């Protein structure tokens, strides 16, 4: 089983995830599930690039994830490695921390 397949299968088992999108660093969609994936794909690519953009000023390494919270308390979780960006649209019942614990090791393995 490919690593992306393993990742998406694991994401499918997690409750309260409404949409999932996996893109390359330039925003090309590799895998998607949900109705608004193009918009979500563009958004996560933009957010990830923004977090990369400030690194030179701060001398930080990473970033590893971003958590965006909406007024409704719904969240967008973004995980990234050198090759891909994973975006998950979570409802307000969902807690990002255990999802990160579960998915980070899988995201870190993905290369192509």
Instruction: Report which of 77, 85, 89, 22 is spatially closest to residue 49, judged by C-alpha positions.
Output: 85
Q: Which of 7, 11, 40, 90 binds other proteins (CB under 8 A)?
A: 40
Q: Which of 5, 6, 9, 36 binds other proteins (CB under 8 A)?
A: 36
Q: What is the DSSP letter of 89?
A: E
Task: Determine if 30 is a binding residue for other proteins (CB under 8 A).
Answer: no
C-alpha dist (Å) from residue 84 to 5, 48, 64, 91, 99: 14, 10, 11, 23, 17
Task: Determine if 63 is a binding residue for other proteins (CB under 8 A).
Answer: yes
Task: Determine if 93 is a binding residue for other proteins (CB under 8 A).
Answer: no
Helix (H, G, I), strand (E, B) or coil at 57: helix
Query: Using CB under 8 A as the criterion, which residues of the chain lie in contact with other proteins when the complex forms?
Result: 26-27, 36, 39-40, 42-43, 46-47, 49-51, 53-55, 57-72, 76
């Amino acid at each position: 089983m490919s690593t992306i397949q393993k990742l998406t299968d694991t994401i499918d088992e997690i409750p309260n995830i409404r949409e999932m999108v996996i893109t390359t660093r330039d925003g090309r969609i590799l895998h998607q599930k949900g109705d608004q994936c193009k918009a979500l794909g563009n958004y996560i690519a933009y957010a990830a690039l923004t977090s990369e953009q400030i690194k030179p000023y701060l001398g930080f390494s990473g970033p590893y994830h971003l958590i965006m919270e909406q007024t409704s308390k719904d969240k967008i979780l973004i995980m990234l490695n050198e090759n891909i960006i994973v975006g998950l649209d979570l409802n307000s019942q969902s807690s990002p921390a255990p999802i990160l614990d579960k998915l980070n090791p899988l995201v870190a393995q993905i290369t192509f």
